[in-house]
Amino acid sequence: MLFSIHCMDRAGQLQTRLDNYDAHRAHLNSTNTTIVLAGPITADDCETPIGSVFVVDVASKEEACAFFQADPFFKLGVWTPDSIRAHPLIKRRGWLEGY
């Protein structure tokens, strides 16, 4: 099942995000979770990261939550806990075979 995960950064966390980007990428590259889509949410300047979005293929919401909770950005408090949302994503149509 596909889940969308939406996480907004806490104010003042840009430097923490930048300093720990490699650890975040290592997490994404080493997870057993199938990541369909992932990337930063940017400010209106289309450059400054202000959050993250993921689409993952997992069996349950619990697995989706375990995925983002293992991320260094979550552990370091980059993301505002109240902003994190994981929702089932119903695919109406898609471009990737199998999704």
With a CB cutoff of 8 Å and minimum separation 6, the contacts of 15 are none
Integer CA distances (angstroms), 63 to 5, 74, 75, 83, in order? 11, 15, 17, 18
What's the pLDDT at 70? Answer: 98
Q: Domain segments of the chain: what residues?
A: 2-88
Rounded mean pLDDT of the chain? 94
The token duo for 96 is 């990737």
Question: Of the given ranges (53-62, 78-87, 89-98), which has the lowest mean pLDDT?
Answer: 89-98
Name the CA radius of gyration of the chain, rounded. 13
What's the pLDDT at 46? Answer: 96
- For 37, other C-beta atoms within 10 Å of its C-beta total 13
In this model, does residue 1 exceed pLDDT 80?
Answer: yes
What's the pLDDT at 89? Answer: 87
Q: 89 or 20: which carries more pLDDT confidence?
A: 20
Superfamily of domain 2-88: Dimeric alpha+beta barrel (3.30.70.1060)
What's the rounded Cα separation, in Å, for the pair 13 and 80?
10
